Amino acid sequence: MAALQTSPAIQRALFFSSICSSSSQHHQHAVFKGRKGVQFQFRAEASPPAHQDGPRRRQILVAGAIATSISLSLPESASFAAEAKKGFQAVNDRNNGYSFLYPFGWQEVVIQGQDKVFKDVIEPLESVSVNTIATNKEDVRDLGSPQEVAEALIRKVLAPASQKTKLVEAAEHDVDGKAYYTFEFIAQAPNFTRHALGAITIGNGKFYTLTTGANERRWEKMKDKLHTVIDSFKIFVV
């Protein structure tokens, strides 16, 4: 949970003030409600009236959820990056210009200060989050090398100062002429260790960060799925 319990807006502002000199600070904090303190905001149609109970009510709810899932995953064009893949669901954010896949069964949650978050409700360290922040930079390479940017992002944004972090690797990739940095890191807290992957890029006047990960004890089981999430992340012009 630690990666989701930081103050994303403040830390992103600090991060950019140190390496971009182009962002302002806004105090926002994560909001969790509902079961075990987590609020799940499902992107589905409004619930049917209370008098529509039994099978009919359940059918309406299911139909609404399916309709919303289709709406999220419809391609914007033939070049839509997050193509359907067995065991995954697709997200296509037409407003902010990005797409990615996440494992089937993860639920969307609302966390103030983060653009989009999906997580496993049983294994809360298994999650994916996307953040965007305005920047005057035009290319992620303007910020520094993959190692420099990843280390700064991990230290200032993705892990609290109380956690011991280690950058495993960082690399640059080119997709359709756009530079992406991807990296792997470990964040160790007193009671758990999270193994995570990240992808960052710049476009549409925004700095994009996607982060996904799992508890270290489940890394071997989850790493292929998490690499699929990272590899699926693409941005497009809006």
Quickly state the pLDDT bin for 212 (edges 50, 70, 90): very high
Q: What percent of the chain has pLDDT over 90?
A: 63
Please say if the pLDDT value at position 2 is more than 70. no
Instruction: Kindly report the pTM of this predicted structure.
Output: 0.70
Q: What percent of the chain has pLDDT over 70?
A: 65
Phi and psi angles of residue 47, each rounded to the nearest 5 degrees, phi first: -65, 145
- Please tell me which of 16-25, 41-50, 111-120 the model is most confident about, judged by mean pLDDT: 111-120
* Chain mean position to CA 8: 12
Please say if the pLDDT value at position 60 is more than 60. no
Per residue in 158-171, pLDDT tens? 999 999 999 999 99
Phi and psi angles of residue 98, each rounded to the nearest 5 degrees, phi first: -145, 160
Q: Which amino acid is at 87?
A: G
CA atoms within 13 A on the CB side of 226: 30
Parse the chain into domains and list their residue ranges: 2-41+74-235
Quickly state the pLDDT bin for 85 (edges 50, 70, 90): confident
User: How far is residue 136 from each of residues 160, 216, 234, measured CA to CA in Å?
Assistant: 27, 36, 20
Per residue in 175-197, pLDDT tens? 999 999 999 999 999 999 999 99
Q: What would the CATH number be for the domain defined by 2-41+74-235?
A: 3.40.1000.10
Contact present, 209 and 74 (Cβ < 8 Å): no
Distance CA 201, CA 174 (A): 10
Quickly state the pLDDT bin for 16 (edges 50, 70, 90): low
Containing 187, the helix (H) or strand (E) segment is: strand 178-188
Res 128: pLDDT: 98
Please say if the pLDDT value at position 150 is more than 60. yes
Please say if the pLDDT value at position 143 is more than 90. yes
Q: What is the mean pLDDT of residues 207-228?
A: 98
